[in-house]
Amino acid sequence: MDFDLFRGLKLRPKDLTCYDYPLIGFDGKIVFSRGQIRLPVQAGSEVMEVNFIIVDAYSPYTTIVARPWLHAMGFVSSTFHLKVKYSSRDRVKELVGSQFVARQCLVATIRHQAGGEPSVSAE
């Protein structure tokens, strides 16, 4: 989770627990976390507690969910279609991402790696 989102959610640094493992950023550099926090996440009608690693580094994303969470929720994901499907109460439901936002994130990453302006306008 991006540190700006962490602050925007009015979470406090004292709520963080230690997370000592380095991560690799989108630019290939090592990123050290500020810690981790466990928060409830709702997807459709399902709610699950998820550990978030808090980083203060460039990312076009505010948060990234990992495979263990997808697996625990019983989700089947397709990055190509920007969808996840899951069963809930004898029905198959889906969460659909935005092609427009995905493109904005890709452009922001490329601009950042090239040393250009990391922000993207919502044209």
Q: Does the residue 85 lie in any domain?
A: yes
**For residue 78, is it within any domain?**
yes
Each of the 123 residues of the chain gets a pLDDT tens digit; together they read 989 889 889 999 999 999 999 888 777 788 889 999 999 988 767 788 889 999 988 777 777 777 777 777 778 877 777 788 877 778 887 877 777 777 776 777 677 666 755 444 444
- Please count the helices (runs of H) and the strands (runs of E) in the chain: 3, 7
Helix (H) or strand (E) holding 98: none
How much is the pTM? Answer: 0.66
The total of structural domains in the chain comes to: 1
Residue type, 6: F
Q: Which domain holds residue 76?
A: 3-113
Strand order in 91-96's β-sheet?
76-78, 83-88, 91-96
DSSP run (H or E) holding 107 = helix 99-113
Sign of CA dihedral 79, 56, 60, 22: negative
The answer to the question of residue 75 being in a domain is yes
